[in-house]
Structure 1
Amino acid sequence: MRHFTTTAIATLTVLSLVACENSYRTTEQGPSLPSPTVMAEAAYASPLKMQRDRLMMPPAFEQDTEQYEETDPNPVRLTALEPVSTFSSDVDTTSYAVMRRYIRQNNILPPSDAVRVEEFVNYFDYDYAEPASADQPFTPTVWVTSAPWRDGAKLMHIGVKGYDLAPDEEQAANIVLLLDVSSSMGAANKLPLVKKSVNLMLDQMNENDTISIVVYAGAAGVVLEPTPASRKTKIRRALENLSAGGSTAGGEGLALAYDLAEENFSEDKINRIVLATDGDFNVGTVDADSLEDYVARKRDKGIYLTVLGFGEGNYNDVIAQRLAQNGNGSAAYIDTLEEARKVLVREFRSTVFPIARDLKFQVEFNPATVAEYRLIGYETRLLNTEDFNNDAVDAGDIGAGHTVTALYEIVTVESDARLIDPLRYQTQNDTQGSVDEFAFVKLRYKLPESEKSDLLTVPVLVKDQYDTLQSAPRDARYAAAVAAYGQKLQRAGHTDYFDWDEIISLAQDSRGNDPYGQRAEFVQLVRAAKTASGDAKQK
């Protein structure tokens, strides 16, 4: 009797939703066939199936089921043997927000593989030179100062800021929301937070933008056909009617979202899919290699992908990162509503509107002045030397007003801090300008409508270095504090003798303007890490 009552209630609930939806469509658009919402509900949310899913739902996920790509920190390179370093830009911030969730919610340090130091550094904005126009969207900024964690070593700081589009320069956006509504998304920090986050994003869109919604669980369905963003009531009602249940047919959902984007593709708009998921794809095409190949093929048609991660316990960072990198988009992790405001309100334009594609960095170090170097972070973004000049090789895309930062630890030839002994049987041949330069920095990028890259270069002059860390720009010191913290959590050994209190002091001293309290929050996270009860299990 109890089972019959539960099923009857579920049936009445679904019938009520169907009636409300049909009534709403009749009011707004006149009589019509059953809506895409109803068709999608029929695919994965029948009363009996909802009841079965609840009965078969697995127990609460444990923290160590999360998946992060196994990486090793970059090694120290001997300049005489490997003078050139090449990597793709990265503006993702997932790793920082994941770290914050581990420390705040669980009072433990994140797994070392979850730590990508470049994403810690790039979580914050820095005061770099402003580019003059969209035709040359970057002006490189380079600072060289003392490394705070090792006497005798230096820190080379490379930063660029993307051209910030004025409102009248922005293209309209055609956005397909791809929302995971499987049973694993039922927690408060998953689908309910997705809905709140999308509502924040909706407020940033204008009447020329369009939005549609595809959902997936045991099957995929369209719950909102392309709709002008000005029809906010209709869009919000479609969002509110979503509920979690079923397995996770992520591959099928991706295919349907791309089909919808292609059907409504516009050359005059930014065509982008925004995927919100915990990454737990467990039905259909689930391996990361197949999914990233599929996304890369669609990227070539001008449809880009942004990935927003949610939740804990079963979060699959491997799939989220690979999809974003191959989809010419960024990846972010939304652990709080405030993080949603950062990503989808304050950084909405940089998330949606690209001002350059395939940004690559290549640094040639001068063996006459630099004995060895180490790239801090970017382990998953490394490129071969020849990839730099190959326009067919994909790299990171940069949105309007976004900053990108990269840090190298370098040791000069006269320093006692060298970790690698000089070569006995090789002499160094001086090159042009070698005694005056630490390095030569090159950037390659494509303008949004171009398939041919442009080149920017800047020499790093010895005379322009700052004698002490304290004399360096405030943002150089703050980025150094963040990098020290990230390396400490990465457990690579490079910052073992630079303790938590020294990181806190450096960050406090260089905090500067902090309108949203993010830099103050960082200091609190360092304090919390200092007293955390332990480490998360490493998979």
Structure 2
Amino acid sequence: MSDELERLRRALAGDAVPEPDAAAKARALALAMENFDRSQGRAGRTRQGKDRPRRAGALNGVRGMSSLISSRFLLATTGSLAALCVALVVVLPSARDEAPGLPRPAVAPTLKTVPDAAAPEAVAPRMEAVPGKAVDRAGDAAPAPQPVPMADAAVDEAVTHAIAPPPSTEAFANAPQGRLHVTAEEPVSTFSIDVDTASYAIVRSSLEAGRLPPPDAVRIEEMINYFPYAYPAPEPGAPPFRTTVTVTPTPWNPGTRLVHIGLQGRQPEAGARPPLNLVFLIDTSGSMQHPAKLPLLKQSFGLMLGRLSPADQVAIVTYAGSAGEVLAPTPADQRQTILDALDRLDAGGSTAGEEGLRLAYRTAAGMSGAGEISRVILATDGDFNVGIADPEDLKTLIAEERDSGIYLSVLGFGRGNLDDATMQALAQNGNGQAAYIDRLGEAQKVLVDQLGGALFPIANDVKLQVEWNPATVAEYRLIGYETRALAREDFADDRVDAGEIGAGHSVTALYEITPADSPARLTDPLRYGEEAAPADRWAGELGFLKLRYKAPGETDSALIETPIPATLSEPSDDVRFAAAIAGFGQLLRGPDRLGDWGWPEAIALAEGARGVDPFGYRIEAVNLMRLAESLSRAE
């Protein structure tokens, strides 16, 4: 052994080898011995084994002292050798440059503490060495044991840099905030209704992790529509949903008005719903290893099974490097069989999303029967990296499958590499909805409490169009819905796809409008403009609301029309709370439209409009606003 060490010493001799730091070595050995004592229970006393009787007298003291001395000597010796080996690993590449007698390996050895940054999360989430906290790839803080301080600050800094998480690869689907429109120039506003809620849950996960969400992650309409509202329900024999319009002063700008449009879908009678065919399309790639991804996904689907009926069927398709059917179509009352199939799933490999989608649609087509509803539920972090990965190409694939009558819902899990843009492309083009599951409570809300709205459609291709009256409205802007804008001519074109509304769902849209005689008007009338002179018959209207929809299975749309009154109404708690959430979203995206109105006003408005809140969704939003205010001040 001494000969080997002597040869190694000679080989490493030179400027590349730093002189040993006696003080650092002493501190390291002292700390190692202290930690050894602590682990043995000797920090103040000698540990007694549970299966070993205590020995009294001098013999026990002598043997104990002898054992302690031997153990400490062995630990010191081992610690010295370990420190030498670490030093050799760190300096060996540069030392070898000075020692031509030693061969150079193809890859220089490194101190590797985590998987390579480019590799999928197949082993464990990457953790940042911050005292008292563990940080996963998304940056979300989680409790962790307090690390033992390093003996040398330089070593501590090196380890911290060695295991820092890679940059986030998250991508969000959004567009610049809706601009102000001059009514005389653009009197018509058209967009697709939707009931996605993913953005609110993403915002919540960011705030609870101690950081403000990226502005592009904030889609204000999804934040507003996250909450249930008690709008008047349709009358028996009427269309499947009812429209309610309310005009109130704008909280953040008294010179403007807030036009609140609420749609309430019909709730079918219990036991009247058709049989349901579900294909769980589950991403089992390596990026799904994190506890907030595949393990949470299994729990979430398990909750939903208890709400299905014996007439429903469930199949499971997975995709990683390739796609496969894990569970053939199985009656939903065989719950244990389905749970066992879920429990066997493991994460690993790349993400062949295209192949998985095609197999899931084929499976659903084979399950479909007359009068039944078939739906693929895709559960993923959105990280498609095999086959079609571009959102635009995925739109084409889903559009081809949409004509089969099979619906698609998308559930997002996890942060760090969440591809929200892909999820939105799939949901918006697949006659479906998108939600983000960041906790089991969110799975309860989406897949249990709102099961009917999530899985049973009552109207397809729902489009909304407002023609504003230039005699009474000078300017307007739609709050949110930037990614769902439609051309004016798309409204009457039944070939153009739009959003879906599920059983019992409510949908909300908000416009901020500037009355023609308001001092808050931002644009001057044109000298040669053609603003319409007020006609007596339309003087009491701000605009005219038109809504088109298709009944499930139909190809021709039906039309609902409602005038928007110019008179102000007393706002309900629902109207005021929706306005507060609209303000919340605008503060997160950029408060340039809100003047001096800020976090205190938004919090007070939401707190005062909580109303009936049986599940605590609204008080949670108030607390998130308070947290966002604190984080914004800390920046």
TM-score band, normalised by the shorter chain? Answer: 0.7 to 0.9
- Cross-structure match for 1:163: 266
CA distance change for structure 1 residues 268 and 93 in 2, over 3 Å: closer, same or farther?
same
The C-alpha deviation readout for 1:353-392, integer Å capped at 9, x for no partner, is 0001111100010000000000000000000111111111
1:300 aligns with 2:399: no
1:255 aligns with 2:347: no
- Cross-structure match for 2:277: 174
CA-based RMSD of the aligned residues comes to 1.8
Query: Are the equivalent residues in 1 in contact too, given 2:303–2:448 (CA < 8 A)?
Result: yes
Q: CA deviation at 1:412?
A: 0.2
- Of 609, 612, 628, the residue aligned with 1:529 is 628
1:513 aligns with 2:612: yes
Partners of 1:478 and 1:134 lie apart in 2 by 31
- Cross-structure match for 2:540: 436
Q: How does 1:105-504 map to 2 (within 5 A)?
A: 105=209, 107-133=210-236, 136-430=239-533, 431=535, 433-463=537-567, 465-466=568-569, 471-491=570-590, 493-504=592-603
Q: CA deviation at 1:534?
A: 8.1
- Cross-structure match for 2:145: none
Greater Cα radius of gyration, structure 1 or 2: 2
CA distance change for structure 1 residues 352 and 125 in 2, over 3 Å: closer, same or farther?
same
Secondary structure of 2:592's partner? coil
- State the percentage of identical aligned residues: 50
- Cross-structure match for 1:99: 203
Secondary structure of 2:258's partner? strand
Query: Are the equivalent residues in 1 in contact too, given 2:547–2:561 (CA < 8 A)?
Result: yes
Query: Are the equivalent residues in 2 in contact too, given 1:63–1:312 (CA < 8 A)?
Result: no
- Of 186, 196, 200, the residue aligned with 1:82 is 186
Partners of 1:138 and 1:330 lie apart in 2 by 18
Q: CA deviation at 1:135?
A: 5.4
Give the counterpart letter for 1:514 in structure 2: D
Q: CA deviation at 1:300?
A: 0.5
Query: Are the equivalent residues in 1 in contact too, given 2:472–2:516 (CA < 8 A)?
Result: yes
Partners of 1:63 and 1:110 lie apart in 2 by 15
Structure 2 spans left out of the alignment, 5+ residues? 1-118, 127-135, 138-165
Q: CA deviation at 1:424?
A: 1.5
Q: CA deviation at 1:151?
A: 2.3
Which sits farther off after the overlay, 485-494 or 406-415? 485-494
Partners of 2:622 and 2:168 lie apart in 1 by 27
Spell out structure 1 runs of 4+ moving beyond 4 A.
52-60, 533-536
Q: CA deviation at 1:58?
A: 9.3
The C-alpha deviation readout for 1:240-268, integer Å capped at 9, x for no partner, is 01111111111111111111112222232
The C-alpha deviation readout for 1:2-37, integer Å capped at 9, x for no partner, is xxxxxxxxxxxxxxxxxxxxxxxxxxxxxxxxxxxx
**What is the number of residues matched between the two proteins?**
479
Query: Are the equivalent residues in 1 in contact too, given 2:247–2:565 (CA < 8 A)?
Result: no
Partners of 2:594 and 2:445 lie apart in 1 by 30
- Cross-structure match for 1:49: none
Secondary structure of 1:99's partner? helix
Which sits farther off after the overlay, 81-90 or 64-73? 64-73
TM-score normalised by L of structure 1: 0.86
TM-score normalised by L of structure 2: 0.73
Query: Are the equivalent residues in 2 in contact too, given 1:202–1:232 (CA < 8 A)?
Result: yes
Q: CA deviation at 1:54?
A: 7.7
Query: Are the equivalent residues in 2 in contact too, given 1:80–1:371 (CA < 8 A)?
Result: yes
Partners of 2:405 and 2:624 lie apart in 1 by 39
- Cross-structure match for 2:131: none
Q: CA deviation at 1:433?
A: 2.5
The C-alpha deviation readout for 1:77-111, integer Å capped at 9, x for no partner, is 00000000000001000000000000002x11111
Partners of 1:275 and 1:132 lie apart in 2 by 35
Query: Are the equivalent residues in 1 in contact too, given 2:122–2:289 (CA < 8 A)?
Result: no
Partners of 1:285 and 1:411 lie apart in 2 by 45
Secondary structure of 2:401's partner? helix
Partners of 1:53 and 1:98 lie apart in 2 by 22
Q: CA deviation at 1:496?
A: 4.5
The C-alpha deviation readout for 1:138-178, integer Å capped at 9, x for no partner, is 11100000000112011000011111111232011000000
CA distance change for structure 1 residues 511 and 533 in 2, over 3 Å: closer, same or farther?
closer
